[in-house]
Amino acid sequence: MTELAPVKEFDITMQRVPHFTGSGRIGWHERPILEPGPGELLLRVRANALCGSDRRQFESGTDITPGHEAAGEVAAIGRGTSTPVGTRGVVFLMDFCGACRSCAIGATNLCSDRRADMGFTRDGGYGRFELVHETNFFPVGPSVDLVTATLLLDVMGTTSHALARAALVRPDIESILVAGAGPVGLGMVAMARLLLGPAVDIFVADVIPFRLDLGERLTAHAIDLRHANLAAAMADAGLSGGFDVAVDTSGREMARRALLDAVGRRGVLVCVGHGEGLTVTVSEDLIAPERTVMGSEYFRYDALPGNLALLERNGVFLEQIVTHRLPIDQLELAYGLFLGGDTGKVVVIQ
């Protein structure tokens, strides 16, 4: 429907939002609740998942309200929108333009003229209300609770996109190695199992026992890097030819180098975690073994319907990744727990 003016369900004009002041401290201040303009929705946020990408904001401070894995209910609608007030859904990180060359083929994660990155360049999901364009809001319906719905974003979306990219050059995937058992790494394990089936050997490497145990519950073989190395793990698994696919979620050059050495002929290294670089010897590392090194950035908006159907069928399995739920007024504590490592996905609710 088309509205002549914003339609909303509340009469307050200010909201209390967290202020990341730096050095791991979070204060609170008041900000106005903006009315949605043409094509916009105002979301009443109910849940937002923490992400390692927030670390810089947590440590250095920001005047933007962070939070880029938000789920909630539409509280007000602007002109030219068709989403009813009360609709439940999640927010796609990239406020894509819909008109550039990338968007024209559905590659909305690579939009060349995006309006914002929610939670980074525009206020995100740690406020009580978040203003979004209707085009980067995805409805989820009543079958999935809103904490679980946050899994559709980094945990399911980013990982399924990386797997799909790997399969473009290595369609016969029989073994996968994941470096880092944080939420994205755990999501990679879970999505590889769901998308590639029970016969694929999945390994996850980390140094944190809590996360390795969770990886095992998600059906991966855990490699505790405090006591073992990748070469020994490959020998024990009978993978003398190397892994078919390796995925780096850590963003560390040392991990990427080790993963590249661990993939075999026609192997693929997918770099998901932002961070450091990678030095390669082209002839030995790439040409002779026909290995591929690729990047994978977030995911396409059009992947959400398929992932929602997958979540609806496999909610109990995927919900294991969410290990902590805390109220928004304990956000600073939530970050302390999350960055300490003994968690899976941490979600704040309000």
- Looking at the predicted structure, is the pLDDT value of residue 2 above 60? no
On whether both 142 and 176 belong to a single domain, the answer is: no
Number of independent structural domains in the chain: 2
State the Rg of the chain over Cα: 21
Question: Domain check: are 92 and 118 in the same one?
Answer: yes
Strand, coil or helix: what is 135? helix
Alpha-carbon gap, residue 203 to 177, rounded angstroms: 5
Cβ within 8 Å of residue 291, ≥6 positions away: 260, 263, 265, 266, 267, 268, 269, 285
Q: Could you report the per-residue pLDDT of 116-156, keeping only the tens digit for each?
A: 999 999 999 999 999 999 999 999 989 999 999 999 999 99
Residues 70 and 199 in one domain: no
Q: Which domain holds residue 112?
A: 7-154+300-349
Span 49-89, pLDDT tens digits: 999 999 999 999 999 999 999 999 999 999 999 999 999 99
Answer yes or no: do 32 and 129 share one domain. yes
In this structure, the answer to whether residues 18 and 149 fall within a common structural domain is yes
Indicate whether 1 belongs to any domain. Answer: no
- Burial classification of residue 101, based on how many CB atoms lie within 10 Å of its CB (0-12 exposed, 13-18 middle, 19 or more buried): exposed
Residue 2 within a domain: no
Question: How many whole angstroms separate alpha carbon 46 and alpha carbon 69?
Answer: 11
Q: In the structure encoding, which two tokens stand for residue 40, read together?
A: 């916009």
Domain boundary among 268, 295, 322: 295
Domain end point (choices 250, 277, 295)? 295
Statement to judge: residues 74 and 95 lie in one domain: yes
Domain end call among 280, 295, 310: 295
Residue 176 lies inside a defined structural domain of this protein: yes
Query: What is the C-alpha separation between 107 and 307, in angstroms, rounded?
Result: 16
Indicate yes or no: pTM above 0.75: yes
Q: What is the domain-level CATH number for residue 70?
A: 3.90.180.10
pLDDT, tens digit (0-9, with 9 covering 90-100), for 229-242 = 888 888 888 888 99
Provide the pLDDT for residue 238.
87
CATH number at residue 214: 3.40.50.720
Question: Do 11 and 150 belong together in one domain?
Answer: yes
Q: Are residues 17 and 125 in the same domain?
A: yes
pLDDT digits (tens, 9 = 90+) for 291-329: 999 999 999 999 999 999 999 999 999 999 999 999 999
